[in-house]
Amino acid sequence: MTNDEILAMFSRTLRDLLADESIVLGMDTKRSDVPNWDSFSFVTFIAAIEMELGIRFRVAAVESFATVGDIVAETRTLQGK
Amino acid sequence: MTTMHWLPSPADFRQSLKSALEADQAEERLENLAAVAQLRLGFVETIQVDNALKAIAKDTASGAAAGFPRVRLAVLASSTIDHLLPAIRVAGLRRRLLVEVYASSFGQYRQELKDPASALYGFKPEVILFSLVSRETVAGVLLTASAEEAQGAVAATIDELRGLWREARENLGATVIQQTFLDVTETLFGSYDQMVPGAPARVVADLNAQLAVAVAQEGVLLLDVARSSTRDGIDAWFDVARWLQSKIEIAPQAAPIYGDLVARLIAARRGQSKKCLVLDLDDTLWGGVIGDVGLEGIVLGEGSAAGEAHLALQRYARSLKARGIILAVCSKNEAAIAEAAFREHPEMLLKRADITAFLVNWTDKAENLRAIAEQLNIGLDSLVFVDDNPAERARVRASLPMVAVPELPDDPAHYVRCIADAGYFEAVSFTAEDRQRVEQYAANVERENLRSSFQSMDDFLRGLDMSLVFGPVTAIELARTTQLINKTNQFNTTTRRYTTEELSALIAAPENITLQFRLIDRFGDNGIVSILILCRDRKDPGLFEVVSWVMSCRVFGRQLENEAMNVAVESARARGARALHADFIATARNAVIKDLFSKLGFSRLPGPTPESTTRWAVDLADYPIQPTFIRRGAKA
C-alpha cells in the first residue's frame, strides 16, 4: 500500500469509530488535532487497523507514535516483512 | 478470530447502512437498522451501527419506538469494557431490544453498589452484569499454597461475589448476571498445572467451578464467556497488547460475539428465546434429493462420513427436543415419500413422532412457516428455519424477517456447529415443564384434530374432559412460576416481570393471594399453565388488585380464563373482599386479551392512566360464577 492508500484507510476507520465524517488524517496529524481522539479510542483505532490489515504493532512502537505519519511508516514496514 | 458465522455476510455493508438511514421517519430507520443488525458485523461495523442507533434514539427519545422494548443494563467491571458496550446495544437491537447501558467507573463497582446516592442507583438498572477478571484472586494465592489455602482464597472471592449479588438484587431489584472468568494465565508446569492448587490456571478453573455452584444456589444467571473462549481459542478473546495498553481483558475482536452472548441472556430472561426448530429434508436432514434418488439413494447414517454428518444433525435435533424444543419439518417434497423415509429408512434417527408439525408439500416455504406457527400457536419469531438452499433462506428472510435463518455452511459436517453457536435456544432454566413440553405440543395437535371432528365448540370442550388442579404458589412451584410469568407475552395482563426473590416475597406475604393452575385433559397433563397474583390494597382491605395474570398460549380457548377467575373470585370472597381491580397494560404482544376483563364482566374505570393502560373493576357481590366445562380437581 502507498502512503496515500494507508492514510485513506486510516481516515475512513477513524471516521467510522468516532462517527465524525469531517476527519481527514495527514502525515503530520497528531492525536490532539482530532476532536475526541482520546487515548482509549486510540487503542481501539490501533486494534481496528490491526484487524483490517492483518498486522500487529509492537507495544513499544504504539507508545512511540507521535504523528499519523509514524503509524503509516510502521505499517509499511510491517507490510514489507 | 471469532465471527458470528451463522449470520449472513453483508454484500455491501456501507450501502446497507446508508440505505437503512435514508428513511424519513425515525421509526422506519430503526426498523431498517434492526435488519442491518442481523448481518455478520465486525468490530468497526458494530460501532457504526451503534453510532447510527444513537442518532435514531435521539429522534425517538419520546419512547415512540413501538415494538422495541427498552432494557436498562448496568455493567460492573474490573477491566476496561467501553469498547464492548456498542456490541451489547447492537446485539440487543438484533433482538428488537433497546438496551440502555450504564458502565461503572473502572473498578468502582463495590463502592457504587453500597452507595444509594451513586449514579448506579440513579440509573435504576433492571439487569446488572458483573464482568470481572480473576487477577486479584490469582495474585492472592501463593504458588506454594496448600490445597486448603488455595480453596480458601477461591471461596473468599466467591463469598464476596455472593454479597455483591445480594446487594444488586435486594437494593436495586435487578436481575443479576455473573460472567465466568477467562483463563488468560500462562502455563507454569505444563499439564501438571492442574495438579498444583496454587497454579494460576488451576485457581481460575477452581473459581469457575465454584462460581457455577454459587450462581445456581443464588438464582443468578451465568454468562459463560470462559466456555466460548475455550471454543474459539483464547487468542480470539484475549490480546495481551490490549491488556497492557488499556487494561482491556475481552479484546476488541471478540466484542461482537460478547455483545451477542449478553443479549442472548437478556432476551432469554424475557422469554424471547426460540421455541421451535424447523428442518428442511433434502440435503439437510439427509444427503440427496429423495424424490430423485429414492429411499435407498439418500445419504444417511453410519458408514459414510457425509451420512454421519446428516445423522449428527438428527441427533442434535433429538437432543434439542429432549430439552423442550419443538421439531417441525418444512420441505418441498411429495408427502408420502417423505413420510416413508421417516417410517422405513433404517438409519433415520428422528422418527415421524418426533416431528410435531410436518409440512411437506409444494407450497411456498414462507407460507408453510406461517402454518407451522399457527398450528403450534407460537409466534413466527419463535421459529428457527434450517435449510441448505440459499435461495429458500433468502426468500424466508425477505418475507418473514422475524424468523431466524442460520446461514448454513456448505459442508453438512458443520451444520450442527452453526445452529449451536447461534444460541437461538438460550435457556435460563430447565424445568419439569420443559422436559414435557414436546409431548404437550403433540397432544395439542391431537386436540386440534379433535376440535375439527366436532360440530360445536361445546362438544369439543366437553370431549376434552378437562380438570383443573390449583392452589397457592409455594416454593415447589416457584421456578416454574418465575419462568411462566417472565416468558409469557401474549396472555399477560400487565407484562410485569419478577425475579425469583420478588416472587418469593409476594408468595410469602399473607395478605396476597397467589394461584397456580394445572390443566389436565384426556390427552395429558398440560402442567402449570396459568398464574394469578392478587395483592390486597394497602388502604382498603376489601379490595384486591390483580397485579399479574399470565396463561400459557397452549391452553387458549379452553375456558381456563373463566374458571381461573371463578377460583380467584372465590378466594377473594373467602378473604372478605368486596371488589377486584385490574390493570390491562397493552403491549405489542398481548392484543389477544385486550377484551379479557370486559368479557369477564369487569367494568372500565375512568382514570388518568397512560394511554396503553386501562383500569378495570368488578364488584364481587354480583360476580356470577361462570359455567365452564372444566371440573375442579384436588387442590394441589
- E runs forming strands in B375-490: 383-386, 466-471
**Do both B263 and B284 map to the same domain?**
no
Q: Where are the domains of chain A?
A: 3-80
* Side-chain-side CA neighbours of residue B103 (13 Å): 17
Across the interface, of B45, B51, B242, the residue whose CB is closest to A47 is: B242
ipTM of model: 0.96
Q: Do both B353 and B498 map to the same domain?
A: no
Question: Which residues in chain B are contacts of A56 at CB distance < 8 A?
Answer: 241
Domain-located, residue B35? no
Which residues neighbour B170 within 8 Å (Cβ) at sequence distance 6 or greater? B501
- Structurally, how many domains does chain B consist of? 3
Residues B8-62 pLDDT 10s = 999 999 999 999 999 998 889 999 999 999 999 999 999 999 999 999 987 766 5
Contacts of B44 in chain A (CB under 8 A): 13, 16-17, 48, 51-52
Look-up: residue for cell 448506579? Answer: B120
Residue at B2 is within a domain? no
Q: How many CB pairs under 8 A join A and B?
A: 47
Does B537 fall in a domain? Answer: yes
Domain with residue B109: its CATH number is: 3.40.50.1110
Residue B34 falls within a domain, yes or no? no
Based on the fold, state whether residues B477 and B406 are members of the same structural domain: no
- Least Cα separation, residue A2 to chain B (angstroms): 23
Name which of A43, A62, A65 to mutate to probe chain B: the one with the most chain B Cβ atoms within 10 A of its Cβ. A43
Question: Are B263 and B301 part of one and the same domain?
Answer: no
pLDDT confidence of residue B1: 59
Q: Out of B366-370, B474-478, B587-591, give the one with best mean pLDDT.
A: B366-370
| Candidate from A16, A19, A40 with C-beta closest to B246 | A40
Residue B106 shares a structural domain with residue B252: yes
Q: Within this chain, do residues B330 and B413 fall inside the same structural domain, yes or no?
A: yes
Specify the CATH number for the domain of residue B330. 3.40.50.1000
C-alpha span between B285 and A78 (Å, rounded): 47
Tell me, yes or no, whether B350 and B235 share the same domain. Answer: no
The CATH number, out of the four listed (3.40.50.300, 3.30.470.20, 1.10.1200.10, 3.30.70.260), of the domain defined by the range A3-80: 1.10.1200.10
Any idea what the Cα angle at residue B360 is, between residues B358 and B364, rounded to 5°?
115
Domain shared by B417 and B491, yes or no: no
What nine digits make up the cell of A17? 469509530
| In a shared domain, residues B192 and B304 | no
Same structural domain, B263 and B230: yes
Residue B42 lies in a domain: no
Phi first, then psi, for residue A8 (nearest 5°) are: -65, -40
C-alpha cell at B11: 454484500
Estimate the crossing angle of helix B43-59 against helix B26-36, to 10 degrees: 160
Which tens digits make up the pLDDT trace of B285-344? 999 999 888 898 999 988 899 999 999 999 999 999 999 999 999 999 999 999 999 999
Name the least confident of B444-453, B499-508, B526-535. B444-453
Interval B164-189: pLDDT, tens = 999 999 999 899 999 999 999 999 99
Query: What confidence category does residue B65 fall into, taking pLDDT thresholds of 50, 70 and 90?
Result: low
Looking at the complex, report in whole angstroms how far the Cα of residue A19 sits from the nearest Cα belonging to chain B: 6
Question: Is residue B282 domain-shared with residue B263, that is, in the same domain?
Answer: no
Same domain for B247 and B134? Answer: yes
Does residue B274 have a pLDDT over 70? yes
Check residue B636 and give its pLDDT: 44
**Is B185 a member of any domain?**
yes
Amino acid at B42: G
**Sorting pLDDT into bands at 50, 70 and 90, what band is B85?**
very high
Residue B469 has pLDDT above 70, yes or no: yes
Whether A16 and B244 lie within 8 Å, measured CB to CB: no
Last residue of a domain, one of B234, B269, B304: B269
Q: Per the domain annotation, does B14 fall within a domain?
A: no
Q: Which residues form the domain of B525?
A: 454-632
Mean pLDDT of A44-55: 97
